[in-house]
Amino acid sequence: MNSSLEAIRYVPGKLLLLDQLQLPFSEVYLDCSSPELGFDAIRSMKVRGAPAIALAAALSVAAKVHNVRLEFKNGKELGLQTQVWLRYLNSARPTAVNLMEATSKLCLFCEKWITAIEAEAAGSSALFSADFQRVCIELLEQDVQDNKAIGRAGAAHLIRTLHSAKMAILTHCNTGSLATAGYGTALGVIRSLHASQNLAHAYCTETRPYNQGARLTAFELVYERIPATLVTDSMVSYLMSLGKVNAVIVGADRVARNGDTANKIGTYQLAVAAKHHNIPFFVAAPFTSVDLALDSGAGIEIEQRPAQEMTHIQGVPLAAPGIDVWNPGFDVTPGQLITGFFTEKGAVIAGQQGQIGFDLSAPKFEV
């Protein structure tokens, strides 16, 4: 069995996304080689996870750019149209900042390209396409490098501070290869600990209502042969009270300057339970998940998901018909409940080096 799962496969002109709605029972790749197909895959959560949706958006546009490049008179026209596609993709899901970060970075690339290059020359649409492919493929490759660095930073911090050769880690939602270009963020730290033989056990929550933990994280853990146990979200406090968890590591969809972190619904209650049991609680995320425009988490838009995702499982009804449903996809964990952030640039730990709480606009990385 191949040792690493791939949520996203790209060659110029063709984007294939692993349909995560069909996992863990079927591994089916969908052709999402246009902005419309990319939008639908993101909105319907065939691809999900903050870094993965940003990459899927970028690459669905890149595929289209490649396929229509010869239909455009010049690079300027194709560059302007590419910006329209990117802005459309930007509205597919609201909470993860990575999507906005990627689409604005690529819109800026288009603007610069149009002003810097002989954009109105005949044939320059092919040149624009080639340059656009290159930057999008770089984003994909960079994500894997960043995740490996996050994994190293997190594992090094835990090995140094937990004074335990082998530790048990609890994680939530899915932050692994399926949520990124590869390796994963929080799950990447677990992977790193496992590789260095410092992992005693991983616990993954079911992650109601959409079960990303039971369907996807459990799948990745089994696939990678990492010793792991699935628990329902409601079992976490009891598990902690039994002394079974040494640290909690989760991912992030958007982090404010003060460390307040939006992540999958249920993250906040894990942080409260961890605080009560004196268990360190970490967020593992690339620095692109930090939204420096936000002072605090109060400004983060929380996506509301369809009622059906709570009332049904895989189309099978579960709740009493007619009941009203509240289904926020994310919650915001206050920075005060977070012990530290594991990023590709290193670990940022609360209260270290004279910091009070977090100021992620001037992070002090652990040395």
Catalytic residues: 253
Cα–Cα distance, 19 to 30 (Å, whole number): 6
Query: What is the nearest approach in angstroms of ligand MRU to the Cβ of residue 267?
Result: 7
Pair type for strands 281-284 and 247-250: parallel
Site string for ligand MRU, 170-189 (x = CB under 6 A): ---x-x---xx----x----
Other CB atoms within a 10 A radius of the CB of residue 295 amount to 12
Select 253 or 291, whichever has its Cβ closest to ligand MRU.
253
Binding ligand MRU (rule: CB under 6 A), the pick from 12, 51, 213, 335 is 51
DSSP codes joined into one string, 173-208? S--SGGGSSSS-SHHHHHHHHHHTT-EEEEEEE--T
Backbone angles phi and psi of 248, in degrees to 5? -110, 135
- Smallest distance, Å, CB 252 to ligand MRU? 6
Q: Does residue 263 bind ligand MRU (CB under 6 A)?
A: yes
Nearest to ligand MRU of 37, 173 (CB atom):
173
The residues with which 17 forms a beta bridge, in sequence order, are 8, 30
Q: Which is nearer to ligand MRU, 22 or 355 (CB)?
A: 22
Cβ 354 to ligand MRU, closest distance in Å?
A: 30
Position of tokens 């998940």? Answer: 289
Residue nearer to ligand MRU on the CB measure, 12 or 340: 340
Please, what is the minimum distance in Å from the beta carbon of residue 33 to ligand MRU?
21
Residues in 104-123 at the binding interface with ligand MRU, rule: CB under 6 A: none
Count of C-beta atoms within a 10 Å radius of residue 194: 21
**Residue from 214, 220, 215, 218 nearest 232 by CA:** 214
Assess contact for 340 and 238: CB atoms under 8 A: no
Nearer to ligand MRU (CB atom), residue 27 or residue 71: 27
Mask of contacts with ligand MRU, 312-341, x by CB under 6 A? -----------------x------------
- Structure-block tokens of residue 84: 């329209």
Note the residues at the interface with ligand MRU (CB under 6 A): 48-51, 96, 173, 175, 179-180, 185, 212, 251-253, 263-264, 329
